[in-house]
Amino acid sequence: MATSNPVPADADPAAYRNQVELVGRLAADPVARVLPSGDEVLNLRVVVPRPEGAVGPAVDTLDCAAWTPGARRLVGRWRAGDLVAVEGALHRRFWRTAAGPASRYEVAVERGRRLVRAEPAAPRRRRPA
C-alpha cells in the first residue's frame, strides 16, 4: 500500500525548515542515559517563560536531547539554573513499552551555549543542637 507524501516532488527543499531556537533556564542537571539500542543520549529540560498575557501556564518546559558526541560534551558541562541558548530540530522519537507503542517530541540539540552560569547554592547552615 503506497502512502501519500505531503511534499510535492518538485518542491524546493529550501522552502521547508525544521529549526528550533530556545533561550531559557535548565530545570535540572542534564541526565546521561544509554538506550537498549546502545545509543547514548544526554537529556535536559529547558524552561522558557511564555510572553506576558499568554493563555495557560506562565512557562513551557521543553525536553531536549543531545545525541552527537559534540552536543553531549557541550551540554554535559551545563548545570541546573544555567541560562542557555539551544539550537536544533524538533524530532518525534518512538519506542515500545509493555503497554504498547509510545512517542515523544524533543528538540535534538545541534548547537548551544551557556549564556549565564547559575549562582552556586549557598551552603546550608546546621542549626546548633
- Amino acid 27 reads A
The identity of residue 94, as a single letter, is: F
The pLDDT-based confidence of 5 (bands split at 50, 70, 90) is low
Q: pTM of the predicted model, to two decimals?
A: 0.79
SS3 82: coil
Model confidence at 53, pLDDT cuts 50, 70, 90, reads: confident
Contact in structure between 73 and 50 (CB atoms under 8 Å): no
Give the CATH fold of the 18-116 domain.
Answer: OB fold (Dihydrolipoamide Acetyltransferase, E2P) (2.40.50)
Residue 24 has pLDDT above 60, yes or no: yes
Instruction: Please give the distance of CA 22 from its chain centroid, rounded to a whole number.
Output: 9
